Amino acid sequence: MKNIIIYIVVALFFFGCKKFDESNINQNAPENVNPQFLLSNVLAEASNNQAYWGWHAGNLLAQHSSNLEFLPVDRYNLGSNEGLWTATYRLMKDLKDIKNSEQGNEAYTAVADVLTAHQASLLTDLWTNVPFYEALNGQDEGNFTPAFDTQEEIYTGEGGILDLLENAVNTLQNTTDRIEGDLMYQGNLNQWIAFANSLRVRYLVRISNKVNVSTELQDIVDNSVLFQSVMEEADVPYLSASPNQWVIFTEREGRYVDVRMSKTAEDILTPLNDPRMAHYYKPTANSTAGNEQYLGLPNGLSRQSQNNYDLSDISLMGSFLRDEPDAVKASFMTYSELQFCLAEAAQKGLISGSSSTYYENGIQASFDHLGLQMPSGYLTQMNVPLGSGNELEKIMTQKWIASFLNGFEAWFDFRRTGFPDLPMPQDNLNNNVFPVRYAYPSTEQAVNGSNYSQAAGAIGGDNYNSKGWWEQ
């Protein structure tokens, strides 16, 4: 009898063992994937971040729009925007995995580098010194507390933004490898080359107060492929079907009506009689057909100060931003921006060529990007043509108009050039200083404390006013 029992005990145990080894294999998701799926993810997510944050922060900081209730950014209470920080590093990890997964495929590596450079610039331009060279090594090296690098190193160091872009261009020009999952350029590597070179122009101009970029810029203009038209610009459109619809289309009413045309936009666009005003914004509720009024609200008003305005006399944002799921194109970089960068470079003597031509191309490209007709005489009206003084201000003002909803680009330009001349929001909570960065995410304090403290010290304090390298 006892023997039988022992047999039963043993049998029971081994019966349980049958599928024992297999039951902890996760069948819900793959351990390895083809890089094309990661590339698609990065393009969809990163482009969405551009437009999403353009609406929620970039447009407010650059004063394209103003806010009533729920976006403390407008009163310069910026917070840390940890959500974007986390999302950006996660995308950079996807990019790293693209590079790791197909060592043999140069094209994937180069394309991933272009996007890595773009994401890195976003990080350093929003938070100043950030982890870069030691970043993303949690898995490979067990480094969960990466050190922060200076903005200068991130832009100019070996393996930094400019280096990544230049190498990517060289690789793409010579490779025979192909990529898939490219929902932006459908695998057309020439367009990636143009995008990479255009980004080089953007970043060289960005650091041009600190570094003599003239030779390199001139070389790019002379010898490299750049965006030739709006057809090549780096856009990812929203789609008519969920889940790829423009976020404000699916949002509650409040998220839409909470954001208004700014007084700054009214002051800039009205004198130009600019048709883009009627695109970006709606006529006020009180205006009558045939006599549409476009009026803005000053930025950064307290609730109490808003009482001085009748919101029926303040314009909402344009209907393409609320009523259509797929009218917005999420842009990494537009052709018009490239032209304005070149106009600025030419105007400053960094490159040869006519500043005015680039400038006028840029304006035309902005209209083209939006699918609007530039009125005849637009370029010749007062305050538009170059040559009569205030050149830089004119270029930056037109660039500002064109940068609507394009991430934080217009804010970066304002921080660098001071144009357009934005008014200080009356009820700002930042001691009447224009903020220049987000605070570091508090998670960094909690989990990367000593590197955080060092970085905060290095930039002059973890507050909204510590200027980065290129804007000092």
- Applying CB under 8 A, which of residues 125, 153, 391, 462 lies at the interface with another protein? 462
Q: Which conformational region is residue 371 in: left (phi greater than 0), alpha (psi within -120 to 50 degrees), or beta?
A: left
**Binding window for another protein (CB under 8 A); candidates: 33-41, 113-121, 163-171, 267-275:** 33-41
CB 48 within 8 A of CB 42: no
CB of 272 to another protein, least distance (A): 28
Name the E strands within 34-102: 65-67
Nearer to another protein, 178 or 273 (CB): 178
CB of 244 to another protein, least distance (A): 5
- Please give the C-alpha separations between residue 310 and each of 75, 136, 256, 285, in angstroms, as whole numbers: 20, 50, 17, 10
Binding of residue 23 to another protein (CB under 8 A): yes
CB of 71 to another protein, least distance (A): 11
Binding of residue 74 to another protein (CB under 8 A): no
**Binding window for another protein (CB under 8 A); candidates: 107-115, 168-176, 397-405, 441-449:** 441-449
CB of 350 to another protein, least distance (A): 33
**Binding window for another protein (CB under 8 A); candidates: 69-77, 261-269, 366-374, 376-384:** 69-77
Cα–Cα dist 393/347, whole Å:
11
- Applying CB under 8 A, which of residues 3, 20, 223, 382 lies at the interface with another protein? 20
Cα–Cα dist 377/384, whole Å:
10
CB of 450 to another protein, least distance (A): 7
Binding of residue 357 to another protein (CB under 8 A): no
Q: Is the dihedral of CA 234, 203, 418, 465 positive or negative?
A: positive
Nearer to another protein, 404 or 440 (CB): 440
Binding of residue 433 to another protein (CB under 8 A): no
CB of 225 to another protein, least distance (A): 26
CB of 306 to another protein, least distance (A): 7
Q: Which of residues 287-326 bind another protein (CB under 8 A)?
A: 302-304, 306-307, 310-312
**Binding window for another protein (CB under 8 A); candidates: 43-51, 223-231, 341-349, 364-372:** 43-51
Cα–Cα dist 407/126, whole Å:
11
CB of 133 to another protein, least distance (A): 11
Q: Please provide the size of the chain in residues.
A: 472
Q: Is the dihedral of CA 114, 115, 118, 121 positive or negative?
A: negative
Alpha-helix runs per DSSP H in 260-354 = 263-272, 276-280, 303-306, 335-347
Q: Which of residues 137-196 bind another protein (CB under 8 A)?
A: 137-139, 142-146, 181, 183
Cα–Cα dist 338/366, whole Å:
11
With b meaning 16 or more CB within 10 Å and e meaning fewer, what string describes 231-247? ebbbbbbbeeeeeebbb
| Single-letter amino acid, residue 25 | I
Q: Which of residues 210-269 bind another protein (CB under 8 A)?
A: 239, 241-244, 247, 250-255, 257-258
Q: What is the dihedral of CA 276, 281, 286, 287, to 10 degrees?
A: 10
